[in-house]
Structure 1
Amino acid sequence: MLWIENIIGQAMLLAPYFATTLTILLALLLDKTLGEAKHYHYLVGFGWLADKIELALNANSSPDKLKNYFQSMAQANQQQSTLRIKLLGTFAWCLLVLPLPTFYFLFMNDLVWYWQILLDACVLYLAIGLNSLHQHAMQIYLPLKAGKIEQARHFTGYIVSRETSALSPQAMSRATVESMLENGHDSVIASMVYYIIGGAPLVILHRFANTLDAMWGYKNTRFNDFGYASAKLDDLLGFFSGKVCTLLYAIQGNIKQSVINAYQQGNQYKSHNGGWVMAAGATVMKITLGGNALYHGKTVTSPTLGLGRSVSIDDMPRSITLVKRAAILLVFFVLILQLSCYFSYHDS
Structure 2
Amino acid sequence: MNDWLITALQIAAALLLDKILGEPNRWHPLVGFGNIAKLLEKKTNNSHQGKGRFIGSCCCLVLVLPIPILLFFLQANTPLFWALETFILYLAIAQHSLAAHAQQIYYPLKHNDLPKARYFTGFMVSRDTQQLSKQQMIRATVESVLENGHDGVIASVFYFTIGGAPWVVLHRLINTLDAMWGYKNSRFLHFGWCAAKLDDLLGFFSACTSCLMYGLQARPVSKVASILRCAWRQSQQYKSKNGGLCMSVGAQVLNFKIGGDATYHGKPVIGVTLGAKRQVILSDIPASIKLVKQASALWLLCILILGILCQIL
Q: Is contact 1:250–1:258 with CA below 8 Å preserved after alignment?
A: yes
Match of 1:265 in 2: 234
1:135-150 correspondence runs (5 A): 135-150=100-115
Q: Is contact 1:261–1:283 with CA below 8 Å preserved after alignment?
A: no
Match of 1:71 in 2: none
Q: Is contact 2:2–2:311 with CA below 8 Å preserved after alignment?
A: no
Distance 1:311 1:302 in 2: 16
- Out of 223, 231, 244, the position equivalent to 2:196 is 231
Q: Is contact 2:261–2:272 with CA below 8 Å preserved after alignment?
A: no
Q: Is contact 1:22–1:117 with CA below 8 Å preserved after alignment?
A: no
Distance 2:27 2:240 in 1: 31
- Out of 141, 162, 185, the position equivalent to 1:220 is 185
Distance 1:301 1:170 in 2: 18
Match of 2:52 in 1: 85
* CA deviations over 1:287-327 (Å, ceiling 9, x no partner): 00011111111111211100110011110000000000100
Q: Does 1:110 align with 2:82?
A: no
Report how far residue 17 of structure 1 moved: 5.9
> Residue type matched to 1:59 in 2?
N
Q: Is contact 1:290–1:301 with CA below 8 Å preserved after alignment?
A: no
Report how far residue 127 of structure 1 moved: 0.2
Q: Does 1:54 align with 2:41?
A: yes
Q: 15-24 or 149-158: which moved more? A: 15-24
Could you say what the CA RMSD is over the residues aligned between the two structures, in angstroms? 1.2
Q: Is contact 2:257–2:277 with CA below 8 Å preserved after alignment?
A: yes
Match of 2:22 in 1: 35
* CA deviations over 1:143-181 (Å, ceiling 9, x no partner): 000111000000000010000000001000000000000
Match of 1:321 in 2: 290
Distance 1:242 1:309 in 2: 24
* CA deviations over 1:7-48 (Å, ceiling 9, x no partner): xxxxxxx37661100000000010001001111221111111
Report how far residue 96 of structure 1 moved: 0.5
Match of 2:217 in 1: 252
Report how far residue 268 of structure 1 moved: 1.1
Match of 1:11 in 2: none
Number of residue pairs aligned between Structure 1 and Structure 2: 309
Distance 1:181 1:57 in 2: 34
Q: Is contact 2:4–2:304 with CA below 8 Å preserved after alignment?
A: no
Which stretches of structure 1, 4 residues or more, deviate above 3 A after TM superposition? 14-17
- Out of 247, 255, 259, the position equivalent to 1:290 is 259
Distance 2:308 2:54 in 1: 46
Match of 2:31 in 1: 44
Q: Is contact 1:258–1:281 with CA below 8 Å preserved after alignment?
A: no
Q: Does 1:205 align with 2:205?
A: no
Report how far residue 256 of structure 1 moved: 2.6
- Aligned to 1:39, the other structure's residue is in SS state coil
- Out of 279, 301, 304, the position equivalent to 1:332 is 301
Match of 1:158 in 2: 123
1:179-198 correspondence runs (5 A): 179-198=144-163
Unaligned runs of 5+ in 1: 1-13, 61-80
- TM-score, length of structure 1 as denominator length: 0.87
Distance 2:127 2:174 in 1: 22
Q: Does 1:96 align with 2:83?
A: no
Q: Percent identity?
A: 49
Query: Larger radius of gyration, structure 1 or 2?
Result: 1
Match of 1:77 in 2: none
- TM-score, length of structure 2 as denominator length: 0.96
